[in-house]
Amino acid sequence: MRTNINLLFYLKKRSTYKNGPVAIYLRFTVDGQRAEASTGKTCDPSRWNTQADRAIGTKEDARTLNSYLDTLQAKAQEIHRWMTANDEMVTAESLKNRFIYW
């Protein structure tokens, strides 16, 4: 069964946010339904590119963070391919659960 999947990395500021690094979340969207999971990483909002969903910069910390996010994205896409190949029902929540416990 073919499903439309989209992955988005974004910064999730809490209502009590003043300054400093913010948690990076990964949003799974499957056929319009959303589910989100924390990546366990943080980034300063001034060093985040919302169009690219990646950290800005060429220093080691930005490259390491972007590489980690690329790895997470590849993992999510691989899980989606595996679920599709095994004829499992792919929903945003089921994809997120497989991603967390994979």
Choose among 29, 59, 54, 28: nearest CA to 41.
Answer: 54
List of E strands, 17-94: 22-30, 33-43, 48-49, 54-55
pLDDT at 3: 76
d(CA 69, CA 3): 23
Average pLDDT over all residues of the chain: 92
pLDDT at 95: 95
Per residue of the chain (102 residues), what is the pLDDT tens digit?
Answer: 567 899 999 999 887 778 888 999 999 999 999 999 999 999 999 999 999 999 999 999 999 999 999 999 999 999 999 999 999 999 999 999 999 988
Q: What is the pLDDT of residues 12-30, one digit of tens each?
A: 988 777 888 899 999 999 9
Q: Which helix (H) or strand (E) holds 82?
A: helix 60-85
Q: What's 32's DSSP letter?
A: T
3-class SS at 10?
Answer: strand
CB 39 within 8 A of CB 50: no
pLDDT at 2: 67
Domain count within the chain: 1
Domain that holds residue 54: 5-101
**Whether the model pTM is above 0.85:** yes
d(CA 100, CA 22): 20
> Around 59, how many Cα atoms within 13 Å sit in the side-chain half-sphere?
4
pLDDT at 57: 92
